[in-house]
Amino acid sequence: MTDGISASSNSNGNSNSNSTGDPQQYDGGTTIGHGHGTVTQGTTFSPPDVPGGSGDPGSGTSVDTPSMLLFADNIDKLIQPTRDAATELGKVQAEPGAFYHANRIRAKVNGPNADSGLKESYIRVFQDLARGLGDLRDGVEQLAQHYTTLEDAGRMKATDLQNAMQSTSSDFTSLVTDAGGSGGGAS
C-alpha cells in the first residue's frame, strides 16, 4: 500500500484496478490490458436507405419531389446522432496523471483551463455539423415545396438554389475552421 492506494500487478506488470474501480498507482508497466481506453456503444446507428431515381435515364431533366423529401428526411435522421456525439464528447475528461507529459496531454485535449483544446474544438465541429445538416434539410424541403413539377423546375433560377443552400456553406466552413483547417472560401 502506498499513500492509501494499493497497487496489484498482473503478469504483464500493469496495475489492475481494484474491485471498486478506484484509480490505482502506476507501477511502471508499458502494456495496456484489454478493455482500457475503449468505448462501448449502447445503440447502433443504422444509416437510412438511399432512394433510387424514378426518372427515365437519358430522358432529360426530371423532378422527383418524393426523393427530395426522402433525402431531407434521411438528412434529418443524422442530426440527433450528431448532437448526441457532441453531448457525449462533452462528458469526456482527459485525466492522464500528474507528470510532464500527462500535463501536456491534458492541456492539448482539455485546454489549459478545461474550456478549449481538441475536445472543445470537436464539440464545436459536431455542433456545426448538426446545424449544417439542419440547414441542408430545410433547403431541400424548401426546394421540394417550390418545384414539384418539371414545369416548376423549368422556372427555377440558379439564385433559387443558391438561396436555399446559402446557410449550409457557412455552417460547413465553420466546421472546417473549428477543426483547425481553413475554409474553402465559398460563400
Amino acid at 133: L
Mean per-residue pLDDT, 139-147: 86
What does the pLDDT read at residue 123? 93
CA 70 to chain centre: 22
Segment 112-120 shows an average pLDDT of 84
Q: What tens digit of pLDDT does each residue of 56-112 get?
A: 555 555 567 788 888 899 999 999 999 999 999 988 877 788 888 888 888 888 888
Q: Which residue has the cell 431531407?
A: 72
User: Count of CB atoms within 10 A of residue 170's CB?
Assistant: 16
Distance from C-alpha of 40 to C-alpha of 140, rounded to nearest angstrom? 35
From CA 142, how far away is CA 158, in angstroms rounded? Answer: 14
- 127: closest CA among 91, 94, 172? 172
Strands (E), 52-155: none
Give me the residue spans of the domains in the chain: 1-42, 62-180
**Residue 3: band (very low, low, confident or very high) from pLDDT cuts 50, 70, 90:** very low
Task: Output 9 or 34, whichever has higher pLDDT.
Answer: 34
Per the confidence metrics, is the pTM higher than 0.75? no
**Assigned C-alpha cell, 74:** 434521411
